[in-house]
Amino acid sequence: MLGRNESCIAPQASGGLRVLHTSDWHLGQTLHGRQRHDEFAAFLAWLHETACAEQADILLAAGDIFDTATPGVRTQRLYYDFLCQMAASPCRHLVITAGNHDSPAFLSAPKELLRALNIHVIAVLPDSPAEEVLLLKNQAGEDEAIVCAVPYLRDRDLRSAALGKTVDQREQELAEGIRRHYAEVFAAAEALQRSLPRPVPVIGMGHLFTAGGTIEDGDGSRSLYVGSLACVGGDAFPALFDYLALGHLHAPQKVGGKETRRYSGAPLVLGFAEAGRQKSVCLIDFAADRPQVRTLPVPVFQEIRSLRGDWPQLEAALAQLRPARRSIWLEISYDGEELVSDLRERVDAAIKDSRLEVLRLRNLRLNEQSLRPEEEGETLAELGHEQVFHRCLDAHKVPEAQRPGLLAAYQEITRELLEADPQAGQ
C-alpha cells in the first residue's frame, strides 16, 4: 500500500470515462465497543490505491461517510488525510453526498475550501435542485460528466407537514416528495445536457431505500442503519440516468435487476449479521455504448465471525479457529439444551493464548425464557422462593438429570443467605 506522502503513478489516458462508486463508509463506527481506526485507515489507503490503479476519473461516495453526526478528531483526520491524497491523485473529481448518519452541517462546513480541490460536497439540500447538478470537466477542460448529487432527503427537506397525518400517509408523502425531487433534479440535468456541445454521461446519486432492496437483520442493524424510511419504487428514478449510484443498504446489490442501478454496499462489515460477507465497490466504464459495471472486492482488513450452537459445536469451532495467526473478532451465541451458567469461563478457557477475541457473547438459553404467572391473579409474593426456583427449572426445560444438583446448590445458597440475614427469605 502507498504511504501518505507517496502519490500514484500518473495513469495512461484511458478510452472513456471511468467512475468508482462507493457508499456507507461509516468512518468512526465501533463494533460492540471496539474502535476500528486501523480498518478504516486500511480501507481508505486501499481506495486511494484502487482509484489510481484503475485509473478512475471520478470517485463517488453516496452518503454515510461518517457513522455519527459528531465524528471524533482521529476519524476526522482519517477523512481529511484521504481527501488530501485524492486531491493529489490523477482521479480528478470526488463527489461526496450526505447520508442519514451524517450531519449535513458538519459535512458542508469545508465545502468551499474542498471545491478548490475538485472535491464536491452536497450535504445540505440547496434551495434550487439545479445546484445538485454538477458538470465535471476533464484535464483538457472539456465536459466529461453530469452528476446529480442528491443527498439523503429528510421530511423537513421536502417541506411536508407532519401534523395530523398517519405514519402511512407521511411515508407516502415522503416517497412522493423524493420522486418529485428526483424529477426536478433530472430536469435541470437535461437542460444542462442540452446546452452542451456534445452529450456526456448523466450519473444519479442517492441515499435511500428502494423497493426490493435487501437489508441485514438480526442484530439491530436494521433499525440502527436503515431506520424508518419511506420505501421508494425503482421507477422514482428517471430512466435517463446512465448510471445510478446508491447508498444506504449495506449489501452490494442491483436495483430491480438492472446492471446500471446499484448499491455499492458498505466497504466494511458493520455488524455480526453480515460476518463473512464479501464487500465490494463498483467500477463503471462509459467507453462503450452502454456503461459496463464491474465490482471490485474490498480486502478483509479484520476477520469477523459469528458462531452459534450448543457447547460441543462451539468448542469444536473455537478449537478450529484457535491456531489462526490473524486476529479474529467473534460473536458467540450459545443455544444448547444444557443450562450453562459458566459460558464466559468456558469460552475464555477455549480461546486462551490465541488471537481470537470475543466481542459479543450471548446465552440464548437464558435470555429466551422469562417467568409468567401460571394462574391469573397470581403474584410473585404469594409463591415461596423454592417454588419460583422449580418454575425456573421448568421454564428453562432443564432436564431431570440436572435438577437435583441445581436444587442442592440453590438450597445451599439460600440457606447461607438466610443465616446471614433472616429477613431475606420473607
Binding site for Mn ion (CB under 5 A): 24, 64
Please identify the residue of the shown chain whose CB is closest to the bound Mn ion.
64
Query: Among residues 54 and 216, whose Cβ is nearest to Mn ion?
Result: 216
d(CA 186, CA 202): 9
Query: Among residues 275 and 383, whose Cβ is nearest to Mn ion?
Result: 275
Is residue 266 within 8 Å of residue 29, measured between CB atoms?
no
- Residue 248 beta carbon to Mn ion: minimum distance, rounded to whole angstroms: 6
- Residue 246 beta carbon to Mn ion: minimum distance, rounded to whole angstroms: 11
Query: Among residues 101 and 261, whose Cβ is nearest to Mn ion?
Result: 101
Give the strand order in the sheet containing 303-309: 303-309, 328-334, 356-363
- Residue 78 beta carbon to Mn ion: minimum distance, rounded to whole angstroms: 17
Query: Among residues 57 and 64, whose Cβ is nearest to Mn ion?
Result: 64
Phi/psi of residue 391, nearest 5 degrees: -65, -35
- Residue 40 beta carbon to Mn ion: minimum distance, rounded to whole angstroms: 14
- Residue 425 beta carbon to Mn ion: minimum distance, rounded to whole angstroms: 53
For 364-400, b/e burial (b = at least 16 CB within 10 A) is ebeeeeeeeeeeeeeeeeebeeeeebeebbeebebee
Query: Among residues 49 and 157, whose Cβ is nearest to Mn ion?
Result: 157
**DSSP letter for each residue of 300-362:** PSSEEEEEEE-HHHHHHHHHHHTT-SS-EEEEEEE--SS--S-HHHHHHHHHTTSSEEEEEEE
Query: Among residues 27 and 188, whose Cβ is nearest to Mn ion?
Result: 27
Neighbours of 294 (CB within 10 A): 11
Is residue 120 within 8 Å of residue 96, measured between CB atoms?
yes
- Residue 297 beta carbon to Mn ion: minimum distance, rounded to whole angstroms: 19
